[in-house]
Amino acid sequence: MEKKIIQVANLSKSFDISLKEPGLKGTLKHFFKRETKSVEVIKNINFEIKKGEIVGFLGANGAGKTTILKMLCGLIYPSKGKLAVAGYLPYKRRTSFLNNITLIMGQKQQLIWDLPPIESFYLNAAIYDIEKFEAKSRIRKLSDMLEIDKELYIPVRKLSLGQRMKAELLAALIHKPNILFLDEPTLGLDINAQRNLRKFLKIYNKETNATICLTSHYMKDITSLCKRVICIHEGCITYDGNLDKLLKRISPVKDLLIIFKTEKDANQLSNLGFIIKNRNQKEITITIKKDAIRSSLNEILNKFDIEDIYINEPPVDEIIGNILIKKKI
């Protein structure tokens, strides 16, 4: 039986927020008699994650993804429920627990701005009581995996965003954590930098069997790394399971790109009642239910002179976008 490294049961989190009326009168009233209300941002969620899994958390802005990661790494205290990460209660912030985890947030940085990254690496190594010889060995190995070398000796402020993100990742992994919490790690990176970061995470997961919890709005991150996803909507889990199964269930259609030999045939197809997705002179993309593909193709091939046909799945971004706005999947 595979070990459950993260266990969450009936977990909820509420925040108290201040209520203030606009204008000077509202400001004075707020100063002397502050009113607050409790807002529940995470609502009675349950899930378990096995050791070595890469799990993607999906949801619109404000759904509660980052709040969940912060509770899992102990930055904020849960209001209700139980959680355990590697056998620890995260909010107690035990040293042995902190040695097991790392948190990387795409919009935050830990490197010292005016110093080369190598200085921050050695500082982190000292914080985790890693001997200098061992620290050098780990830095060398991680820098090879991340494909950064000369950049380690250039002040952080002079590095590109992609180079800086690689250095941030190296700094966060120098203590060999078993659990990685990644909140938008590819935020703002170009396509090549995103691809390189995903490649590194795959290798790191394979070599170390580290557990990775990932949030991202770049759907390529999710589809490339995660077999399992947890969908969050307004603080509730609406789906927890295999990503491919979810995509098939939520998108029972395929796109057919049909290239006609004449524009006249293309015009006639437009009048047959098919759902037209795109049209460009002799090229038409139609959306068809998967169980009707054979009959639709027979009808089209019998009636028209076709130059070529391509059958495609709808773009994953489009499908995921539909997922994020659904309350229950």
pLDDT of residue 125: 94
Q: Classify residue 19: in a domain, yes or no.
A: no
pLDDT computed for residue 291 by the predictor: 74
Looking at the fold, whether 259 and 147 belong to one and the same domain comes out as no
- In the chain, the number of structural domains is 2
Domain span at residue 285 reads 253-312
Verify that 213 and 294 share a domain, yes or no.
no
> Is 308 within a domain?
yes
The predicted structure's pLDDT at residue 323: 60
Give the global pTM: 0.80
Residue 62 belongs to domain with CATH number: 3.40.50.300
pLDDT of residue 219: 79
80-85 and 236-242 beta bridge pairing: unpaired
| Residues 104 and 227 placed together within one structural domain of the fold | yes
160 and 224 belong to one structural domain: yes
pLDDT at 314: 62
Of the three residues 220, 248, 276, the one that is the final residue of a domain is 248
Same domain, 56 and 194: yes
Left if phi > 0, otherwise alpha if psi is -120 to 50, otherwise beta: which for 3? beta
Is 242 found in the same domain as 110? yes
Q: What is the pLDDT of residues 105-136, one digit of tens each?
A: 877 788 999 999 999 999 999 999 999 999 99
- Gap between the Cα atoms of 25 and 34, Å rounded: 13
Q: What pLDDT does 142 receive?
A: 92
Q: Does residue 225 share a domain with residue 94?
A: yes
CATH of residue 289's domain is 3.30.70.120
Those residues of the chain that have pLDDT short of 50 are none
Q: Which residue type, as a one-letter code, is found at position 185? A: P
Asked whether residue 142 falls in the same domain as residue 240, the answer is yes
Domain boundary among 248, 275, 299: 248
Q: What is the pLDDT of residue 82?
A: 94
By CB atoms closer than 10 A (0-12, 13-18, 19+), residue 23 is: exposed
The strand pair at 211-215 and 306-312 is best described as unpaired
For residues 67 and 145, state if they share a domain.
Answer: yes
Across 124-235, where does the E strand assignment appear?
179-183, 211-215, 228-233
Say whether both 231 and 200 belong to one domain: yes
In a domain, 132, yes or no: yes
